[in-house]
Amino acid sequence: MDELQLLIDLHKSAHRQGPGGDAETEKALDLAGIERSAPLEIADIGCGTGASTLLLARLLQARITAVDFLPDFLDVLDRQAEALGVADRVSTLACSMDELPFADEALDVIWSEGAIYNIGFARGVAEWKRFLKPGGLLVASEITWLTDMRPAELQQHWDSEYPEIDVASAKIRVLEKHGYSPLGYFVLPERCWLEGYYRPMQARFDDFLERHGHSAEARAIVMAEQREISLYEAHKAHVSYGMYVARKPARSRHSAEGAMDAAGFGRTYYDNFE
């Protein structure tokens, strides 16, 4: 079994495939000011097995397209959507996030938890913007430095894993440079890493190694994950995920009314933020 298949096997039974939490998904929803009864079109990009997709489907009246390039994860999501009774509003799309098939201005909200790094934050926010309606929202979590100075071993690890890692002010600047209006940012708490992601993963290690006969490839994956966990535990004051909420500006006032209504957001929302 190749490395990707092993990673799928390790992660597909997890609730989340990256740091996050249901309370933080809901907090981002509130920070974005999304009206829960509006008939929104949402894409959840890099959805994994759908922790955020399925929560959004339960909290909103929206139609959600859950996108991931791994059909194994989407199969799990489809089964869970059926079991939760939201399958009529959730559809899955096996596709890469750099080849999304959405029409221009088709989406009210782009959601992406712990996934935009796969094409890079700057590229993702730039390329996905055209899919948003004027006034539409981007909600994305991204690994972020919490401090301006970091211990060398942490810096070296993340510089080699993801050179685009940066402080929140730099991420917000990227959003601004690409024409978004940042609405807010918050840091995912430690619980999202440990209880939401690392501890459940560690609990799966023994069975995973057993299933794969303790092969060198399986052991290498466990060792790499363990190293990342140890680094996080040692240096969690310096790194986390940030949740970023930003809006694609609405068209100027004389043509804005229709676009705002089409986006499904109430006047109150715009009055608060304009």
* Site residues (vs ligand SAM, CB under 6 A): 16-18, 20, 46-48, 51-52, 68-70, 73, 96-98, 113-115, 118
160 vs 252, beta carbon nearer ligand SAM = 160
119 vs 250, beta carbon nearer ligand SAM = 119
Least distance to ligand SAM, CB of residue 141, Å: 8
131 vs 265, beta carbon nearer ligand SAM = 131
Reference 185, options 24, 22, 21; nearest CA is: 24
Alpha-carbon distance of 244 to 249, in angstroms, equals 16
Q: How far is CA 130 from CA 66, 110, 158, 273, in A?
A: 18, 11, 30, 21
17 vs 144, beta carbon nearer ligand SAM = 17
- With H, G, I as helix, E, B as strand and everything else as coil, classify residue 149: coil
Reference 17, options 170, 141, 158, 166; nearest CA is: 141
Least distance to ligand SAM, CB of residue 260, Å: 29
Alpha-carbon distance of 215 to 209, in angstroms, equals 7
The single-letter code of the amino acid at 47 is C
Least distance to ligand SAM, CB of residue 97, Å: 4
Least distance to ligand SAM, CB of residue 257, Å: 34
Q: What is the DSSP string of 23-89?
A: HHHHHHHHHTT--TTS--EEEEET-TT-HHHHHHHHH-S-EEEEEES-HHHHHHHHHHHHHHT-TTT
Least distance to ligand SAM, CB of residue 132, Å: 18
Q: What is the DSSP secondary structure assignment for residue 189, as one 8-state letter?
A: P
118 vs 202, beta carbon nearer ligand SAM = 118
Pairing of strands 41-45, 107-112: parallel
21 vs 136, beta carbon nearer ligand SAM = 21
Least distance to ligand SAM, CB of residue 19, Å: 8
Alpha-carbon distance of 184 to 30, in angstroms, equals 11
